[in-house]
Structure 1
């Protein structure tokens, strides 16, 4: 594990709200980001994540509440007076400047002695694996290389906080995976505080120490990638972070924080997560649901509606009295055909009770 860089800073939102006239873009958000961690703001378009990022940068001003960076109140400070750097979705490279000149640009306006500017810029290009590309123009680089130039340009300023706004959205799927791994490696090696905005769930799970899921201008859930994937707080998070089957169920009883849950003919013993007897909702990932023989004990009766072989696994849509269930099976030796009758069983761990 890398050490936290000396100038990496904490970020704190204290009941922050941002309004545009009568429209509330961010509503009473409180948030703490540790120094040296990569925290992703994740959510659908219009949820408030980019506005939150821009308020950290000073590109938008909070209507209410306080924003602290490194323990300093920056709520009313303009972007130029905040020690943060942003990597934009569009890269924002100057097309007429070489790669080296692009990386040097910010240094020239930040009080760095002239003799150190080129040295720092070269070091920044080495960090992102582009040491031999300084003489090229941005148009002579691939999309992934351009993104790395934008990262280098931000890194050389040695900001307290580095911000990424949908940094991979212009790249193809294979390159996205490669560049996100590079960003994560640089962040960990340098101990940077990074706030990262994306709407891509897989990207967020892959790069983050913590994920803050936003929906309708508020935080829906805040936790580690594993927390959010395996223990979503509500139906929105369960469905947004990966795929999930959501069921209406009944909690029959709760004893020592274990709930006895009825889902049709199926009985499950699950952590109650603070819920009490009565109607409830259950989330189950497609890989945590299994196909069994028709009529098997403690299963939902069902019929295969769709069956798809995709190489590493098989995907099924099963019709049941509880609605259609999406199941991913690792068993590719025996593929169930459409119309086949089956039992639907739930893994011992994985299904979780959730809030509405």
Structure 2
């Protein structure tokens, strides 16, 4: 049985702002959020949106300009990093090159006052959790990038922090290794019931590992929810386009009744959830994989002409011109008889077609 348990705690931001000296705008602007105990929450957004600053404020590596941070219900706003029970895994691994793998994992334990015997037991338990129990005597330079990142995870885990922080942990790995290591991180988090705050700019990575995703843009929270919530029901054009690909199309809301919007899209009429929107000009978002390619002349479908059809193995990528602009669709039937120059029609199913603001 592993000697490593869970000391997981919640994280709460209350109206937190961070303004760097001499900066004209806030790096983080009055954000409030909650990370529930034992959950993995991802901060997702483009470079400069404030996600890494938010992570560093949890760690105590950056102090807030205003607002409060609570960990496990305790106000830690003014506590330095050394007095916060958190551990961070960096994208650079930050391993000591002259120490063995086991010595790297033991390093933090030795300074935390654990008896020598327990230091060894915890280090071995940590290496077992990440599948590196047979690599303890090796130097970091003798490991692959994925293995080095696992050592960094083990080093953080053995301290049993209240919150485990990941700052772009997979950005230095190739695509296949990223998939493997992200699954390892998710499995360990679930197994131990850890509270994890995870920063990435990779949408697929966020969708794969998260209980909840907080999308940030321009120092504020654009939207938060489960991966499915954000993918299927983005609140605006930024979220729709940032979380996977989306077609953003101008439309007109003709009328709203009982939270249903009669929507006109070129020659197509749709009945969609109104999402609080009023009659008038609007936009809708639809994922390329949700569009249905149907025969030309199909009733209540958008006429289109295919300009390009590309076979990419698992599906066809179809580019089409319509009266309301270019549209990109994905067809999962690789044997479908579509070719560039064909006249077709596009069907907009209600599931996956959403009205958005802005």
1:227 Cα shift? 0.3
2:14 aligned partner: 14
Say whether the 8 Å CA contact 1:16–1:28 is kept in structure 2.
yes
1:181 aligned partner: 183
1:338 aligns with 2:340: yes
SS at match of 2:318: strand
Say whether the 8 Å CA contact 2:93–2:148 is kept in structure 1.
yes
1:348 Cα shift? 3.2
Runs of 4+ residues deviating >2 angstroms: none
SS at match of 1:162: strand
1:144 Cα shift? 0.7
SS at match of 1:67: strand
Correspondence for 1:351 among 341, 349, 353:
353
1:305 Cα shift? 1.1
Correspondence for 1:114 among 108, 113, 116:
116
1:289 aligned partner: 291
1:189 Cα shift? 0.1
1:252 aligns with 2:254: yes
1:153 aligns with 2:155: yes
2:266 aligned partner: 264
Cα deviations by residue, 1:208-262 (Å, 9 ceiling, x for unpaired):
0000000000000010000000000110000000100001111111111111110
Partner Cα separation in structure 2 for residue 291 and residue 6 of structure 1: 50
Partner Cα separation in structure 2 for residue 235 and residue 351 of structure 1: 13
Partner Cα separation in structure 2 for residue 309 and residue 94 of structure 1: 46
Partner Cα separation in structure 2 for residue 335 and residue 61 of structure 1: 59
Partner Cα separation in structure 2 for residue 107 and residue 23 of structure 1: 40
1:222 aligned partner: 224
Q: How many residues are paired up?
A: 352
Say whether the 8 Å CA contact 1:128–1:148 is kept in structure 2.
yes
Say whether the 8 Å CA contact 1:271–1:353 is kept in structure 2.
yes
- The answer for unaligned runs of 5 or more in structure 1 is none
Q: TM-score, normalised by structure 2?
A: 0.97
SS at match of 1:157: coil
In terms of mean alpha carbon deviation, does 160-169 or 303-312 score higher?
Answer: 303-312
Correspondence for 1:307 among 309, 328, 332:
309
SS at match of 1:133: coil
Q: TM-score, normalised by structure 1?
A: 0.97
SS at match of 1:288: coil
1:309 Cα shift? 1.1
Say whether the 8 Å CA contact 2:6–2:194 is kept in structure 1.
no
Partner Cα separation in structure 2 for residue 172 and residue 201 of structure 1: 16
Partner Cα separation in structure 1 for residue 347 and residue 100 of structure 2: 60
Partner Cα separation in structure 2 for residue 308 and residue 8 of structure 1: 47
Partner Cα separation in structure 1 for residue 152 and residue 314 of structure 2: 37
In the TM superposition, 1:36-115 aligns within 5 A as: 36-115=38-117
Partner Cα separation in structure 2 for residue 94 and residue 348 of structure 1: 54
Say whether the 8 Å CA contact 1:16–1:65 is kept in structure 2.
yes
Say whether the 8 Å CA contact 1:309–1:335 is kept in structure 2.
no
1:126 aligned partner: 128
> RMSD value over aligned CA atoms?
0.9
1:235 aligns with 2:237: yes
In terms of mean alpha carbon deviation, does 28-37 or 114-123 score higher?
Answer: 114-123
Say whether the 8 Å CA contact 1:244–1:285 is kept in structure 2.
yes
SS at match of 1:23: coil
Correspondence for 1:28 among 26, 30, 50:
30
SS at match of 2:293: strand
Partner Cα separation in structure 1 for residue 314 and residue 201 of structure 2: 26
Say whether the 8 Å CA contact 2:6–2:192 is kept in structure 1.
no
